[in-house]
Every structure is written in structure tokens, then in C-alpha cells.
Amino acid sequence: MSVIERAGLALLHRMDPERAHRIALSALGAGVVPLPGPVTSARLATRLAGLSLPNPVGLAAGFDKNAVAIGPLARAGFGWIECGAATPRPQDGNEAPRLWRLAEDRAVINRFGFNNDGAPTIAGRLAARRKSGVPVGLNLGANKDSADRAQDFAAVLTACGPHVDFATVNVSSPNTESLRDLQGSAALAKLLAGVVAARDALEGRPAVFVKIAPDLSDREIEEIAGVAEASGIDGIVATNTTLKRDGLTSADRDRPGGLSGRPLMARSTEVLAKLYRATGGRIPLVGVGGISSAEDAFAKIRAGATAVQLYSALVYDGIGLAARIAEGLDRIAEREGLASLSDAVGTGV
């Protein structure tokens, strides 16, 4: 980490977490944050559901909810970027406080509740962005007071789909009441059918993923794998945040919301491996949860991930972490004698 980045993080950590997040986004947009530029090599170049990624290290949803910093983020070393979550109508989300750092555990708890500017505004920003060679996607959400949450996902995709390379159906956030009920096989099949129909009506046909929770039984994981394969979507993202609090030591460990960061690494990787076994590698998987190093990212790849995403580790290691992980993965591939990181997918399962 550079001296400037270390000093900036120290300053941000003296602020309220949500205010620090807003300032970090503003600093990126203002161009005051040093950025390494694209990171790629023959070993890092990855194909994910038809997308060409310069490297497999992606930015998870939640950091740039409203698509206000896509340009700078594309120069931060990420191989792909996911904005959102977006809902059909703007909403404020849950009341503050709703974000806590758990520094001792290298973790974060949030209960935002899909706060965002709404699909029409976000679609305008996505349409106006300058193409960068880094695929950009959107996390799809549902309004808290919606009468038909399943329809909300299709509505956001219809509005924003022409301007993105992929979209992720978020049925696994714990911060919108009853949202996780949509992970049940019958409800999920119906929801995904509507999203796929909306996608197929778009000229560009962006890839569609579904993001699942880590707090699932083996039977539920197998059912979701079957529904995903049958639905015609392009991949599964494993996983979102957890409601469990096992082994935490930080004072804020019992705050309400979803836990992310280092404590999630083992469980999310376990779910990933079970998905890989359930699907037989027939559908691409994305590994998310607890990644803070190149070795962590490589563990996800060996557990079945074609690509990975991170977010919480940026709170502790800075925006330059993406480039450092990508460069570290390149060195690991060289060490392991891999012509491509893709050759390692699933080898640890």
C-alpha cells in the first residue's frame, strides 16, 4: 500500500463509516486517488459467461451503488465492475446507523436496505459512461414496499440492461424483509423466468447471474443449482453476506445486518465448492466473501470460481488492493505452471 493510500485510510477510519464511504467515492470521482491502471496478462485474461475480463478480480456490488465512479474504478485494477443494487424506484434504505467496521475481525456489518437513486437515474449514468474495456454490470434489487418483488428485478433490467454487460439478481440480501424467501426453488424459478424473458427482449442480451446467501443448507444449495441451470441464466455468485456471528471479537459484532469480510471466507468458499460439485462445472461460478489476498482469490478459483469479487477488504487495504491481488494471481499462475488461471478452476474441489 502506498504512503498516500495508507494516510487516506487512516483519516477515513476516524470518520463515521458511511460518511467515509461517501468521501472515498467523491475522492475517486475527483481524481485525487492514485490509480494503477488496467492489470492484465495472458495468464490473467478470463472468459466469464461470454464476457472478456482483463483479469478475474471484480468489484462486488455495494461500493458504487449509484454508478457514479465507474471510470475511476475501471482504472483501479479491477477486471470487471458491478454497480448497484438498483431498485425500480429510488429509496432511502434503512435508518442510520447502518454500517459498522469490525476492525479486530477485519469485517463489516451493514443493514443498508437497498438505498439507491432508482433505476431511471442509474440507467442514465450507465448510458453516459465512457467505455473502458472493463465489463460493467448492475446488481438488481426490489423496492421494500413493492407489491411484486419478482417483477421489480425484471423492471430494473429492462431499464438498465441496454447499458450493461451483465446483471445480477440479488435475492440474498438480508436487509430487505423476506427477500431471501425468493431463494426457494419455486419462487426462484418464477423470478428467473421473468428476468430471462426481460433479458432476451434486449438487443445486447447481457449475461444474467443470481447471487445466493451463505446461510443455506446442502439441500437448498443443490436445489438452487438445479433451478439456475434449468432457467438459462449464465452464472451463480456465491455468496452474499451472512447473518451468523461465529467467532467474532469486535464490540459491534451483534449489530443487525449482513456480515462480510474475513470471517466469511471459509463458509463462502465451502458453498462455492458445493455449488461446483452440484453443477459439475456446467455453469460459471463467481466467488465472493472474505477475499483479501491473491492466495484467498486463488482458493476461490480452486473451489470452482471462474472469477472473483471483493469489497469489504477495501475498507482495510485500500482501493489499490484489486491491482495487488491481480498481480499476485499472475505470480501464482506462473508459480503453478499455469498457462491460464482458468486451468485451476475447480482443481481444489
Which residues are tagged catalytic?
173
Strand partners, 261: 107
What is d(CA 57, CA 77) in angstroms, rounded to the nearest whole number?
Answer: 8
Q: Could you tell me if 84 and 122 are in contact, meaning their C-beta atoms sit under 8 angstroms apart?
A: yes
Cis peptide before 176 (omega within 30 of 0): no
Residue 113 CB coordination number (10 Å):
22
Report how far residue 152's alpha carbon sits from residue 215's, in angstroms, rounded to the nearest whole number: 24
Instruction: Record the cell numbers describing residue 121, joined without a space.
Output: 437515474
> For residues 220, 221, 227 and 232, what is the CA-based torsion angle, rounded to 10 degrees?
160
Rounded Cα–Cα distance for residues 87 and 319 (Å): 26
Q: How far is CA 124 from CA 127, 131, 163, 164, 254, in A?
A: 5, 14, 9, 11, 38
String of DSSP letters for 173-224: -TTSTTGGGGGSHHHHHHHHHHHHHHHHTSSS--EEEEEE-S---HHHHHHH
- Kindly tell me the sign of the dihedral angle through the C-alpha atoms of 109, 309, 298, 212: positive
